[in-house]
A and B are shown apart, each in its own frame.
Chain A
């Protein structure tokens, strides 16, 4: 049982990933000035930022489900015992 416990804080890659996605979302890394190309109705930098914003949504949503597992089994067992009675 103990080995199956997953707590997000203990996984470094989660936070490095989150940080990198944040770096990609904020448009600090473009050269300034000049014409801005418009793709699919968005200025290109905004489209890239939007893309990574969606990546962040998906990433966090997935993390919640797959990397967080502490007392779930205990609780679900308890529930089953309660309803089984």
Chain B
């Protein structure tokens, strides 16, 4: 993504964004005693109101990658990339499966991480450790992807004036500093700014792109139908199967992400939570939907790009749009700064979640359970920085295309879903089958991916693993005779207890 239009102006905009983020982080943490309590630092005191909660859900779920990675995918696959609307929407459907009850239990038991629920429900070290590993793996991979994307976006926006490495380091520093000062509160409040910039940017980008193709989307489609009919034709069966598989993989994966689950915990009230979700359900058409249209317009603006070339699509289009007039020029610079901000807003949530799991799960559950909350918080903060340092080292050799790593990170993480979701409703579900299901699912998904079979007949390895996982957990629990005490204990844990 080499933007010939930016350079110095890009640096000015990026610096302003960085300063605003730091200021918000400072204000969020100022004068408050957030570092002495796990839920104060990691969950904003479980007191997020609707605006902050909605935007932190939005800016976390939609990264800058949603634009710079999905527009090229639409470019390459054509109209079947409409699936990006439905798979981002179905996430809310999966939330409806478990969030209402998990919210009630999390408030009652004062959970900080998803692992708290798993430990509370199964009381099994093996299940707890395995899910910690899977979730940290998923988070780490996701964070790595965001770091790579920050570097590419910064280098692109400044036309290479700021090289990739410096771009990553500068913004990671900004992110770590504001997160250090304000914890979840800083993350959520910066998300409000980052989310708004992202929304506005996508709309203006689309208007500019439409202007360049004469304002007529129909002519774009006709052009594609004449030159590349496969991109408008009815998708072959394996694409449809892959689409179903994406719905399952993204739906379960994205809603079960530790930072996604922690947003359920952070809500101030049920009313706030359900209203935020209700608005989130309407976001895919105006986010991934518009990005899809941008990618399709790209087919007409820049026909015949290969895979590597198409990855630069958003930058290529931004160049053309910026050349229309000074207004578009500045909007494009703001927008690209917004992309960087949107990536940072996703990365910060992931990092915070990563830290919370080190604080609360690894250190607090296994190393030093008796430590003060202050100490646990500090261990998590330092642990997060060590993790970022390791990931930065990895980020110097970024993988080829963004979309592939997006699917990869879900494959293992999604295996935690049966324990979390089924555990809420089925009291007979017991620890051993859950453990072996999770392990078998993760192994199957991992092996399929590592042997280059990330999809089989269009079905993702993660989904096959999840099916096996689910099967073992259910069949195993039916065979294992759990004592009536265990079942009634589980009943106690999973009940809503609203009369109390």
Contact = CB atoms under 8 A, between A and B. Distances in A.
Contacts of A40: 218
B269 A72 contact: yes
B223 to A, nearest CB: 11
B220 A41 contact: yes
Given A27-B235, A28-B240, A68-B100, A56 B86 contact: yes
Given A2-B498, A43-B232, A71-B103, 9 more contacts: A8-B96, A22-B90, A22-B247, A43-B233, A53-B86, A60-B92, A62-B278, A70-B104, A71-B270
A74 B103 CA distance: 14
B96 A63 contact: yes
A9 B85 CA distance: 24
B15 to A, nearest CB: 37
A46 B270 contact: no
A57 B242 CA distance: 21
Give the 7 A-B CB pairs with smallest separation, nearest first.
A64-B278, A41-B218, A28-B240, A61-B281, A41-B217, A60-B281, A46-B79
A36 to B, nearest CB: 6
Interface in B404-443: 425
B79 A42 contact: yes
A59 to B, nearest CB: 8
A79 B49 CA distance: 13
B275 interface: yes
Nearest to B225: A38
B367 interface: no
Decide if the interface of chain B is mainly helix, strand, loop or mixed.
helix
A64 B96 contact: yes
B70 to A, nearest CB: 15
Given A38-B218, A41-B221, A50-B82, A60 B233 contact: no
A20 interface: no
B279 interface: yes
B271 A75 contact: yes
B221 A42 contact: yes
Contact of B96 (A2, A25, A60, A72): A60
Given A30-B234, A65-B275, A53 B85 contact: yes
Contact of B233 (A36, A58, A68, A70): A36
Interface string A15-29: 000100010011110
Contact of B232 (A31, A36, A69, A76): A36
B243 interface: yes
Contacts of B282: 57-58, 61
A60 B279 CA distance: 10
Contacts of A61: 92, 278-279, 281-282
B375 interface: no
Contact of B225 (A36, A54, A56): A36
B269 A76 contact: yes
B96 A68 contact: yes
B222 interface: yes
B89 A60 contact: yes
16 contacts: A22-B244, A26-B83, A26-B247, A38-B218, A38-B221, A41-B218, A43-B225, A53-B82, A56-B86, A61-B278, A61-B281, A64-B96, A70-B101, A70-B496, A72-B274, A75-B271
Interface of B: 79-80, 82-83, 85-86, 89-90, 92-93, 96-98, 100-101, 103-104, 107, 216-218, 220-222, 225, 229, 232-237, 240-241, 243-244, 247, 269-271, 274-275, 277-279, 281-282, 284-285, 289, 425, 496, 498-499
A35 to B, nearest CB: 9
Nearest to A10: B425
Decide if the interface of chain A is mainly helix, strand, loop or mixed.
helix
Chain A: interface residue count, which band?
A: 35 or more
Contacts of B289: 50, 53
A32 interface: yes
**Most chain B C-beta atoms within 10 Å of own C-beta, residue among A28, A58, A69:** A28
A50 B82 CA distance: 7
**Most chain B C-beta atoms within 10 Å of own C-beta, residue among A2, A40, A43, A74:** A43
B493 to A, nearest CB: 16
Nearest to B79: A46
A54 to B, nearest CB: 6
Given A8-B97, A50-B82, A71 B104 contact: yes
Nearest to A29: B240
A18 B93 contact: yes
A79 to B, nearest CB: 7
B86 A22 contact: yes
Given A2-B498, A26-B243, A64-B281, A8 B100 contact: yes
Contacts of B284: 53, 57
Given A8-B100, A57-B89, A61-B278, A28 B237 contact: yes
Given A40-B218, A60-B93, A5 B236 contact: no
